[in-house]
Amino acid sequence: MTHGMVSAAQPEAVEAGLETLQAGGNAVDAAVATALVQTAVDPQMCGIAGFGCMHVYSPKTGVHVCLDFYGRAPMAARPDMWADLMISESEDGFGFILKGNANCFYGSIATPMTLRALGTALKRFGTMQIGALLGLAVPHCENGFVVRPHVSAYWNMLPTESKPPHSALLTNVPATRKIYVKPDGKLHAVGDTLRNRDLGATYRRIATVGIEAFYEGEIARRIAGDMRANGALLAETDLAQCRVEETKPLWGSYRGHRIATNPPPGGGLMLLEMLNILEYFDLKAMGHNTPDYIATVAEAMKLGAVDRDMHLGDPKFVDVPVARLSSKEHAARLAERVKRGEKAHVPRIKAKEAADTTQVCVVDEHGTCVSLTHTLGSPSGVVTDGLGFMYNGAMEAFDPRPGHAASLAPGKARVSSMAPTIVFKGEQPFFVVGAPGGTYITPGILQAVLNVVEFDMTALEAISAPRFCATSDTIHLTNRILRSTERDLATRGYPVKRIPLNFYFAGVHGIRIDGGRLDGAADPGRDGMAAMV
């Protein structure tokens, strides 16, 4: 048995991670097992045709890397193909709304990377075979899983104005409808058992013949045939070219702690920039979630959002000024603006949107730490008949206007706010953290790090504390932020909006390592848990 802890947004997935540790697997094995079960029991938050980033630290083997597996635009994409279709941008900067929903359904599908990445992680850093770990997911497909509150809430959510409702993602494509709609024409409700035998069969096939069947074999041919028949950009050559990139973590510091996070096109750079700005303020003296604290942290969030929109892109295609944006000097200049009372303006082209992703954190007895964020982006709603899995909708996040950092180009990775992060005390890992939540991810992780470092909270306290967010000019507050604080912020001239939910703005998950002891937490706004063996 390997001792350790797993935190994730789905109890079934956490249990798979724990079983893997009990069977002698390491943290990477457990993270992959957890992720594979997530694809079965949370099929719009993630899937084998999704994308993401895995941050791995293994002191025993001397490994510290990020495995980047972001969705890339198919080679048939063209920089100006949607330039005349622009309607608006989401308020939080998560995506773009086009005429005729050209970047939805089959038009939204970028390269499917997750299965390739999980297999790569096992080969590079794990001890188990993917076939065995897929076996943990198959029963949840064939016997079914009980629909949880967060799953049902997502299915019934109304997204951005002018975008298809989430229910349409499950009902418009016949192969998708077959899985998610009951004989009475209704979607499965909380407590119903949803079975996806086609996904179980696909997993059994991959377990038998290997991952290459998905990218260059029988499954790849079925995928490509469906894409051709429905006018999608994704082609068989795109599948064959899917590769995971191994990158060095991006490093920063905050209050004497070393921060390791993911490089562009992920969101770690923005996290470091915001922490650097806030290091110039005595946040502890302000008090947690006081008006002064929220106003200060919100300004750092807004400044990070502005730089994200202006500069963050695929480094293979754009020159991202990483050194400048992550420097203490740049942060000092921005901090002075905050001290002068300036309110940053975050340009947006109207509208609003939510985001769809999931998270795994694992720590084992050897000190190996994994923070894995993976997603479908905005789910495409597309399932190929007989295969069972839903494809990512990553193309929705590309800027349809040529000439921007996140603009469309063939083979280009989409920008992501994912920021799987490890905070170190000296040379030892102290806090392993990550989150789903679109552009809310970095603000959510930021607050969890501040809670642990500034206010000495446990992982549970840090992740359960009321959050706020500013990815536009408006400061959004969860419902447990005091009304008196809201009034104070409004008096200072801030646009303020109260969210009716008590837990919101990313689904933060984390594990704290304190003197060799582990304490972890799953975001109460999701359905998950943290558990230890």
Phi, psi of 60 (to 5 degrees): -65, -35
For residue 475, the SS3 value is: strand
Do 88 and 26 lie in a common domain? yes
Judge whether 407 lies within some domain.
Answer: no
Query: Is 370 within 8 Å of 361 (Cβ atoms)?
Result: yes
Judge whether 412 lies within some domain.
Answer: no
What was the pLDDT predicted at 87? 78
Do 152 and 272 lie in a common domain? no
Which of 456, 451, 483, 488 minimizes the C-alpha distance to 467? Answer: 451
Phi, psi of 64 (to 5 degrees): -150, 100
Judge whether 404 lies within some domain.
Answer: no
Do 25 and 161 lie in a common domain? yes
Judge whether 411 lies within some domain.
Answer: no
What was the pLDDT predicted at 211? 97
pLDDT in tens, the chain (533 residues): 899 999 999 999 999 999 999 999 999 999 999 999 999 999 999 999 999 999 999 999 999 999 999 999 999 999 999 888 887 776 544 567 778 877 889 999 999 999 999 999 999 999 999 999 999 999 999 999 999 999 999 998 866 544 567 888 899 999 999 999 999 999 999 999 999 999 999 999 999 999 999 999 999 999 999 999 999 999 999 999 999 999 999 999 999 999 999 999 999 999 999 999 999 999 999 999 999 999 999 999 999 999 999 999 999 999 999 999 999 999 999 999 999 999 999 986 543 344 578 999 999 999 999 999 999 998 999 999 999 999 999 998 899 999 999 899 999 999 999 999 999 999 999 999 999 998 899 999 999 999 999 999 999 999 999 999 999 999 999 999 999 999 999 999 999 999 999 999 999 999 999 988 999 999 999 999 999 99
Judge whether 450 lies within some domain.
Answer: yes
Do 192 and 67 lie in a common domain? yes
Tokens of 44: 């719009």
What was the pLDDT predicted at 350? 45
Do 198 and 315 lie in a common domain? no
Do 280 and 141 lie in a common domain? no
Do 136 and 69 lie in a common domain? yes
Domain count, the chain: 2
Domain extent, residue 493, equals 247-352+418-532
Q: How far apart are CA 346 and CA 500, in angstroms?
A: 24
Do 55 and 152 lie in a common domain? yes
What was the pLDDT predicted at 167? 85
Judge whether 403 lies within some domain.
Answer: no
Do 122 and 270 lie in a common domain? no
Judge whether 402 lies within some domain.
Answer: no
What Å distances lie between residue 520 and 42, 334, 358, 462, 523, CA to CA? 21, 33, 16, 10, 10
Do 213 and 307 lie in a common domain? no
Judge whether 318 lies within some domain.
Answer: yes
What was the pLDDT predicted at 158? 67
Do 239 and 252 lie in a common domain? no
Amino acid 26 reads: N
Q: What CATH number did the domain enclosing 505 receive?
A: 3.60.20.40
Give me the helix-helix angle, 11-22 and 130-142, nearest 10°.
150
Q: How far apart are CA 52 and CA 357, in angstroms?
A: 9
Phi, psi of 224 (to 5 degrees): -60, -35
Q: Is 105 exposed, middle or buried (0-12, 13-18, 19+ CB in 10 A)?
A: buried
Do 302 and 198 lie in a common domain? no
Could you list the active site residues? 357
